[in-house]
Amino acid sequence: MGIDKSRVMKLFQKDPDRYWRVSLFDEGWTRKKCPNCGKWFWSLTDRELCGDPPCGEYEFLGKPPTKKKLDYIQTWDAIEKFFSKEGHTPIKRYPVICRWFPGLYFTVASIVDFQRSAGGKTVFELPANPLVVPQVCLRFNDIPNIGVSGRHMSCFTMIGQHAISGEKGGYWKDRCVDLDQRFLTEALGIPEEKVVWTEDIWAGPNAFGSSLEYYVDGLELGNAVFTEFLGTIDNYKVMDQKVIDMGAGHERFTWITQGTPTAYDAVFGPVMGRLKKESGVKYDEKLFLEYSKLAGSINADERDLEKSRAGVAKKMGLGARELSAQIAPMEALYAIADHARALAFAISDSGLPSNVGGGYNLRVIARRAMGLNEKFNFGLDLAEVSAWHADYLKPLFPELAEHKEQYKEILGVEKKKYKQTMHRARRVVTSLIASKKPIGADKMQELYESQGITPELIKEVAEKSGKKFEVPADFYSKMTERHMTKEDKEAEVIDVGDLPQTKKLFYGKPLKFKAKVLGNKRIGGKDWAVLDRSAFYAESGGQDHDTGYLNKERVNNVQIVSGVILHQVDKRLSGDVQGEVDAERRKQLTQHHTAAHLVNGAARRVLGEHVWQAGAQKGVSKAHLDITHYENPGAEQVQEIEGLANKVVAEGRTVHKAVMPRAEAEREYGFRLYQGGAVPERELRIVSIPDWDTEACGGTHADNTGEVEKVVITSTEKIQDGIVRVWFRAGRAADNYLGEMDRLLGEAAGLLMVGDEGVPRAVEKLMADWKAKRKKVDELRRKNAKGKIKQMQMRALKKYRVLITKVDNANMDYLREISRQLSGPRTFLFLVGIKDQVYVFSSTGEEFLKEGISSGKIVQELCKKLGGGGGGPPTKGEGVIPLSQKAAIDKLMEDVNRRVEATLK
Amino acid sequence: MTRESEALLKQVAEILGVPVSDVPKVVRNLLDESNKLDALITQLE
């Protein structure tokens, strides 16, 4: 449960000066309440409304309030220059894929850069105080508005101005607001009377504070959050280290200095020009300027887009269709530009479109961009558009240009998948529409998530069939919301009571140790001993647990709960114990764990920088590593990965293990450390294979890569879209595996009486011979049947010919063959075959049908009577009767005969 | 042998459409089947 924001607002409004008044406001500013929206704001003028749309319009469109126009790069230069001069350290952006903080797939705000988890709490760790950062963020909750509203983006740069109050260099509200006001007026040249500061609050799960948003000419430029209180609204205290969390829109600064019709025109710079040129879309700037002024209020999430647009069209004196036709292609281009930029950052930071987790949202925008490209027939290549962004942003984010090849590769694969999906989806949707079943929100979600079928595609197919179908405006928002945050898995709660954490001895060499039993727990009907110290490694980080002995009691399982190691033994223990870990098992698990790091490093080198560990399991006989990759690697790539891993084994590199403060480890090794996910500790155990792989890891590892002995990749498989499982074995497990391969091949060779190399050819020959022999048997059977059938006499009854007979050693196939040869329009056949069971077959010719005899019915009736089953259409009946009823067959045939004769009388 | 054995075995497993570990068993079954078919052909002829 989060904090109730309305209660915080109510509390703060009782004493607004305490929470919102800053020294700047003493210089002639007045506090007012907007009569339109009810918000409190501060202004130097006598303005009545706060100006935040719908309480105002974008007044800067076509007439920017700044002294000069700045492009995207120049905007950052101005910010960096101003804040550096004011004592801030400019730092480089963090990745857009958030690997360091649990619960988030993407970096959604600049403050996320500095959020870490420790002991179940969120802490802030700033690398400098104060600092400023151009943090690129990805958010997917406004997808329908992107390209349409003129300002929404899935990828934007939040200018983070952060400081910790009370620490060296830090400051609090007065200086923060003063700096931001001066940046607007001094650096950008905005007249001070144009600035409006609006009162608001911020509340997170366990902290809250006041905030001041600043607007110029109706455009919100930034929001200064003052995180001051820790706890809940009913029980809180002032934080020891209060946090300044000011986030401003880089894009908005650029936009306001240019006053272009949309933020996209200002922000995407030359990319928009190229898009217009390549697509041939004509751009009517005057029309867009007029439209954009009014379109600021459009929010496709809240209202139906068509209705909103109709309202704007009316104000412009145009028809809704006329307006749509003129602006829709440009809106599509804007959306493509935004999505290509988001994908450029995501792919550069090792993100991959897929069907799971955050990758899902990347797929949504990739497919939306591809769909728009197709719909308007632009002929654009999404990877190329991403590369144009990389070129334009090079002075600020040079790393993007290094990943152009990956854009091509990853988006190329994505395009192929999109085409395949669309092809399949059209068939599914066509049959769904034809079935006339209603397609509600749940069905749409199911179709989208399981088969990639978009509501737009349903609409397209429905309209072609003359049916009306409305795409819900909030469809994508609802979908992407489900994939923004990671859900914590419900872990089984085991209460270890007051037992102290166990001293861990398993990183050391001795596998024999002495310890004291501190207690026993009864869990799942078994006894678990808790010691003061233990060399037993508990199952964690994908590594299987140790086994061994405590005194003479076998340790079958070892688990760890809240730092307490639990040893599952068959008998309760007490007093002093002597422990001994199974050395062979430990050695094997250790080899597999170090091998997993070797394979991970090798896969990254062979398949690309997007490779990231998505899971791992290190057992005794085998191990696997799940990696993010878009397709199952080919045999040559697998061979190369294995070869590289073994090269490092042969080189005998030292495996370094050290416990380091988290910040230091991140600085030295980057976020690739978090291969196994974010680590909620202030100190990390770093396992590093020099120039190969460095990870935060709590597993047992070899001291030298040579101890792994050998790595054998046994197979790879795509376990879900975007994730490949690499099965491997190391050390003795690898030898055992290869030995088993020798044995199996040897056994096959012995059976076939050939050498090992001759086995594939011999098996091919064996298969071919077997098939040929089966064919021959079939042919002989047919031939023999033909001979027998020729001897069968059909009885003439009026104009018809009738055959009612029993055939020994005949199955259903045989009876069908008889029918094939003897049936005609004027025939009736009733055949009974006796083999492993009694087969009944009947056929009635078309002419004979007029006499009212149905083969299906006769067979059904008679088979049922004798404890079997069967049936069929009037022309043909098939059924079976248990062999135990064999004696009743003659009577049955007599019955049929009588019925036929009676009918034809 | 070793890796060569593995490669040969995987090749055979693919021909037969079975897992590697089932190769000898399937080869044995095929040989038995083949012998039975020989007998059946003689009988039918």
| Beta-carbon count within 10 A of A619 CB | 15
Contact A759, A744 (CB under 8 A): no
The minimal CB distance from B41 to the residues A751, A766, A773 is found for A773
Interhelix angle A382-392/A320-348, rounded to 10 degrees, is 70
Separation between Cα atoms, residue A658 and residue A664, nearest integer Å: 12
Distances (CA, A) of A388 to A373, A400, A566: 16, 10, 56
Is B27 within 8 Å of A769 when comparing Cβ atoms? no
Question: What local confidence, expressed as pLDDT, does residue A739 receive?
Answer: 93
| Beta-carbon count within 10 A of A218 CB | 23
Low-confidence ranges of chain A (pLDDT < 70): 1, 295-306, 473, 482-493
To which H or E segment does residue B30 belong? helix B23-44
Among A744, A774, A778, the strongest candidate for a mutation testing the B interface, having the largest count of B CBs within 10 A, is A744
Is B20 within 8 Å of A763 when comparing Cβ atoms? no
N-term to C-term CA, chain A: 87
CB-based contact, A779 to chain B, within 8 Å: no
A792-904 is a CATH 3.10.310.40 domain: yes
The verdict on whether omega for the bond into residue A16 sits within 30 degrees of 0, i.e. cis, is no
Is A770 within 8 Å of B37 when comparing Cβ atoms? yes
CB-based contact, A781 to chain B, within 8 Å: yes
Is A744 within 8 Å of B31 when comparing Cβ atoms? no
Closest chain B CA to residue A735: B2
CB-based contact, A766 to chain B, within 8 Å: yes
Span B1-45, pLDDT tens digits: 578 899 999 999 999 999 999 999 999 999 999 999 999 899 888
Cβ contacts of A738 on chain B, cutoff 8 Å: 2-3, 5-6
Cβ contacts of A776 on chain B, cutoff 8 Å: 37, 41
Separation between Cα atoms, residue A412 and residue A723, nearest integer Å: 17
Cβ contacts of A757 on chain B, cutoff 8 Å: 8
Is A767 within 8 Å of B20 when comparing Cβ atoms? no
Span A340-376, pLDDT tens digits: 999 999 999 999 998 878 898 999 899 999 999 998 9
Within 8 A by CB and 6+ apart from A4, the residues are A203, A233
Is A774 within 8 Å of B37 when comparing Cβ atoms? yes
**Pick from A404, A407, A346: nearest CA to A612:** A346
Closest chain B CA to residue A763: B12
Which single residue is written with the structure tokens 């248990």?
A882
Beta strands in A141-186 (DSSP E): 155-164
Within 8 A by CB and 6+ apart from A111, the residues are A124, A160, A162, A243, A245, A247
Q: Closest approach of chain A CAs to the CA of B5, in angstroms?
A: 5
Report how many Cβ contacts below 8 Å link chain A to chain B.
Answer: 87
Among B26, B38, B44, the strongest candidate for a mutation testing the A interface, having the largest count of A CBs within 10 A, is B44
Separation between Cα atoms, residue A33 and residue A494, nearest integer Å: 54
Tokens coding A881? 């009767």
Contact A139, A108 (CB under 8 A): yes
Domain range for B24: 3-44
CB-based contact, A757 to chain B, within 8 Å: yes
Residue type, A52: D
Closest chain A CA to residue B28: A751
Interhelix angle B3-16/A731-752, rounded to 10 degrees, is 60
Distances (CA, A) of A881 to A567, A587, A834, A836: 61, 63, 10, 10
Residue A646 phi, psi (nearest 5): -70, -25
Domain count, chain B: 1
Where do the H-state alpha helices sit in A317-400? 320-348, 359-375, 382-392
Is B6 within 8 Å of A766 when comparing Cβ atoms? no
Is A745 within 8 Å of B8 when comparing Cβ atoms? yes
Chain-centroid distance, C-alpha A801? 68
Q: Closest approach of chain A CAs to the CA of B44, in angstroms?
A: 6
Tokens coding A466? 């003359």
Strands A503-504 and A533-534: parallel
To which H or E segment does residue A133 belong? strand A131-138
CB-based contact, A281 to chain B, within 8 Å: no
CA dihedral over A7, A10, A15, A20, signed as positive or negative: positive
The verdict on whether omega for the bond into residue A500 sits within 30 degrees of 0, i.e. cis, is no
Is B44 within 8 Å of A784 when comparing Cβ atoms? yes
**Pick from A448, A569, A542, A564: nearest CA to A497:** A564
The minimal CB distance from A766 to the residues B4, B24, B31 is found for B31
Question: Angle A719-A720-A722 (CA atoms, 0-180°, nearest 5)?
Answer: 115
Separation between Cα atoms, residue A216 and residue A562, nearest integer Å: 51
Which single residue is written with the structure tokens 């949309």?
A262
Separation between Cα atoms, residue A902 and residue A899, nearest integer Å: 5
Where do the H-state alpha helices sit in A227-304? 250-258, 263-267, 270-279, 285-295
Which single residue is written with the structure tokens 């406001």?
A25
Is B27 within 8 Å of A763 when comparing Cβ atoms? yes
Contacts with B, A 698-717, CB within 8 Å = 712, 714
**Pick from A833, A836, A839, A829: nearest CA to A876:** A829
Separation between Cα atoms, residue A751 and residue A759, nearest integer Å: 10
The minimal CB distance from B11 to the residues A740, A744, A760 is found for A760
CB-based contact, A745 to chain B, within 8 Å: yes
The per-residue DSSP string of A640-673 comes to HHHHHHHHHHHHT-B-EEEEEEHHHHHHHH-GGG
Which single residue is written with the structure tokens 């809106």?
A331
Distances (CA, A) of A567 to A120, A274, A519, B2: 25, 66, 11, 39
| Beta-carbon count within 10 A of A90 CB | 15
Separation between Cα atoms, residue A46 and residue A42, nearest integer Å: 10
Tokens coding A389? 């962004």
Cβ contacts of B16 on chain A, cutoff 8 Å: 763, 767
Q: Identify the architecture of domain A597-740 in CATH.
A: 2-Layer Sandwich (3.30)
What phi-psi label fits residue A614: left (phi over 0), alpha (psi between -120 and 50 degrees) or beta? alpha
Closest chain B CA to residue A767: B30
Cβ contacts of B40 on chain A, cutoff 8 Å: 777
Superfamily of chain region A5-90+161-259: Bira Bifunctional Protein; Domain 2 (3.30.930.10)
In chain A, where the domains are located: 5-90+161-259, 305-481, 503-581, 597-740, 754-788, 792-904
Beta bridge partners, A661, equal A683
Is B8 within 8 Å of A760 when comparing Cβ atoms? yes
Tokens coding A575? 């007093």
Cβ contacts of A760 on chain B, cutoff 8 Å: 8, 11-12, 15
| Exposure of A439 in the CB half-sphere (CA atoms within 13 A) | 29
Q: What is the CA radius of gyration of chain A?
A: 38
Separation between Cα atoms, residue A1 and residue A828, nearest integer Å: 78
| Burial category of A303 from C-beta neighbours within 10 Å (exposed 0-12, middle 13-18, buried 19 and up) | middle
**Pick from A656, A655, A658, A688: nearest CA to A673:** A688
- Reduced to 3 states (helix: H, G, I; strand: E, B; else coil), residue A236 is strand
Class of domain A503-581: mainly beta
- Contacting A with CB below 8 Å, chain B residues are 1-6, 8-9, 11-12, 15-16, 20-21, 23-24, 27-28, 30-31, 33-34, 37-38, 40-41, 44-45
